[in-house]
């Protein structure tokens, strides 16, 4: 048994933190989770989407049957939004409903609480409402605990899972804050609606089915970013994500973007008559591998958003499944290090190696060039939405004028954007994605 107060201290009771604590407690290790919110999920934005493949590696089917999922996502919607028009692709497939490939909307206040409860049931201790203000280090510089208020709590290993705006990453691994161009700010509101109303408005088959909807273009007034919508059982999560640098230079505050998105003709009917239940904000890492910190150091490991494990592909946003997988690997490798009595950086390197061999780091390496591509993909946010609107107007508006060949309807609007520009964008997307 270690002479420290705990064998492991986990900072943060989000997905990565609670899963790491769960794995450690199952293996009989003494673990403490310190969460600055008043409960697990209190500091996380309510509403999002999780792909369950990573959870299936942590929990049994019976345990997952108890998980507080909201709706199974069976509709993928992507919109190019102009101020006065909206072009939407709505995709559904039987493949999306298969258990091993399913995804669900979740509310962090309930889902994170369930994860924390599973960790507690396994034997982890949880402390809420206390921020960790610093790390303890021994004479060699090895992390050996945390400082929370007037308390100093020692541990053989500390796992940081304290979010994208980590207060401890610099102390742990010398990580400097990423540039504003690599970070985004998100604002979201949750709208209360009856389950049947939501089901009817998204054309789902039952109250257990839902949709994920991403918006590009006018959702962020033509600046880098986008809007999003997730259907919960009896609420809708609606928000925008915009690059911090783009917001600073674009002139339109992010809260105004959200107000305008709510009033857009394509979105307003979805939330008609709804009551706003929550308004929240959050920082989102968007630089991928380019801003990922060193993941281990002597006595310390990073997982989830504190390790910048989030990818925005434009048509899909992922982070939760990476957090779950990283939390599981961090917990298991921390247990191995404790067993052999070596918690040095070298001993913890197995965590990094496992991540490299998993879908987590393989995905981040595959999409290494994607953040830079999207950041400079201006026409996706201002140009293509208007081009698609004008082409659709040519195709579907009938006013009694003689018809013209489709090519003559389309090409003037394509040429307005530029054929070479379109070709360059297609080539860039193929290389980045």
Range in 111-120, 289-298, 371-380, 418-427 with the lowest mean pLDDT: 371-380
Domains of the chain, earliest start first: 6-68+108-177+290-366 (3.50.50.60), 181-285 (3.30.9.90), 373-432 (no CATH)
pLDDT at residue 25 tops 70: yes
User: Are residues 23 and 335 in contact, defined by beta-carbon separation less than 8 angstroms?
Assistant: yes
pLDDT at residue 45 tops 70: no
Please compute the mean of the pLDDT values over residues 82-105 and round it to a whole number.
93
Local confidence band at 236 (pLDDT 50, 70, 90 cut-offs): very high
Cα dihedral 14, 18, 21, 23 in deg (nearest 10): -130
Local confidence band at 251 (pLDDT 50, 70, 90 cut-offs): confident
Quick check: pTM over 0.85?
Answer: yes
Q: Convert the pLDDT of each residue in 122-132 to its tens digit.
A: 999 999 999 99
Range in 244-253, 281-290, 340-349, 352-361 with the lowest mean pLDDT: 244-253
Q: Convert the pLDDT of each residue in 332-344 to its tens digit.
A: 999 999 999 999 9
Q: Convert the pLDDT of each residue in 263-276 to its tens digit.
A: 999 999 999 999 99
pLDDT of residue 1: 46
pLDDT of residue 46: 63
Q: How far apart are CA 12 and CA 17, in angstroms?
A: 5
Q: Convert the pLDDT of each residue in 315-334 to its tens digit.
A: 888 999 999 999 999 999 99
Q: Which two tokens stand for residue 212?
A: 């994920």
Contacts 24+ apart (CB under 8 A), 388-395: 388/80, 388/82, 388/87, 389/80, 389/82, 389/84, 389/85, 389/87, 390/416, 392/85, 392/87, 393/85
């Amino acid at each position: 048994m270690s002479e420290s107060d705990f064998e492991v201290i986990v900072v943060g009771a989000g997905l990565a933190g609670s899963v790491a604590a769960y794995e450690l407690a199952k293996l009989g290790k003494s673990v403490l989770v310190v969460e600055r919110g008043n409960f697990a999920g209190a500091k996380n934005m309510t509403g999002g989407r999780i792909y369950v493949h990573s959870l299936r590696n942590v929990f049994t089917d019976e345990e997952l049957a108890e998980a507080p999922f909201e709706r199974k996502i069976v509709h993928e919607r992507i919109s190019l939004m102009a101020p006065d028009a909206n072009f939407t692709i709505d995709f559904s497939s039987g493949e999306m409903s298969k258990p091993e490939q399913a995804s669900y909307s979740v509310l962090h206040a309930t889902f994170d609480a369930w994860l924390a409860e599973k960790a507690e049931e396994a034997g982890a201790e949880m402390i809420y409402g206390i921020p960790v203000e610093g790390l303890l280090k021994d004479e060699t510089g090895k992390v050996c605990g945390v400082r929370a208020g007037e308390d100093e709590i020692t541990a053989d290993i500390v796992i940081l899972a304290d979010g994208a705006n980590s207060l401890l990453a610099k102390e742990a691994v010398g990580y400097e804050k990423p540039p504003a161009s690599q970070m985004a700010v998100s604002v979201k509101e949750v709208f209360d609606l009856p389950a049947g109303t939501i089901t009817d408005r998204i054309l789902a088959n039952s109250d257990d089915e839902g949709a994920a909807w991403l918006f590009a273009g006018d959702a962020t007034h033509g600046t880098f970013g986008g809007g999003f919508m997730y259907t919960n059982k009896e609420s809708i999560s609606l928000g925008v994500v915009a690059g911090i640098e783009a917001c600073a230079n674009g002139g339109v505050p992010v809260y105004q973007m959200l107000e305008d998105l709510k009033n857009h003709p394509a979105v307003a009917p979805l939330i008609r008559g709804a009551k706003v239940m929550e308004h929240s904000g959050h920082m989102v890492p968007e630089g991928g591998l380019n801003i990922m910190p060193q993941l281990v150091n002597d006595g310390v490991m990073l997982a989830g958003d504190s390790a910048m494990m989030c990818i925005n592909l434009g048509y899909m946003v992922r982070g939760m499944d990476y957090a779950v997988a990283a939390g599981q690997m961090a917990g298991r490798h921390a247990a191995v290090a404790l067993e052999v009595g070596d918690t040095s950086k070298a001993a913890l390197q197995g965590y990094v190696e496992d991540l490299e061999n998993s879908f987590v780091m393989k995905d981040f390496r595959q999409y290494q060039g994607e953040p830079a591509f999207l950041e400079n993909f201006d026409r996706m946010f201002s140009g293509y939405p208007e081009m698609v609107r004008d082409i659709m107007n040519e195709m579907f508006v009938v006013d009694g004028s003689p018809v013209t060949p489709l090519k003559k309807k389309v090409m003037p609007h394509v040429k307005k954007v530029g054929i070479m520009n379109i070709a360059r964008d297609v080539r860039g997307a193929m290389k980045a994605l």
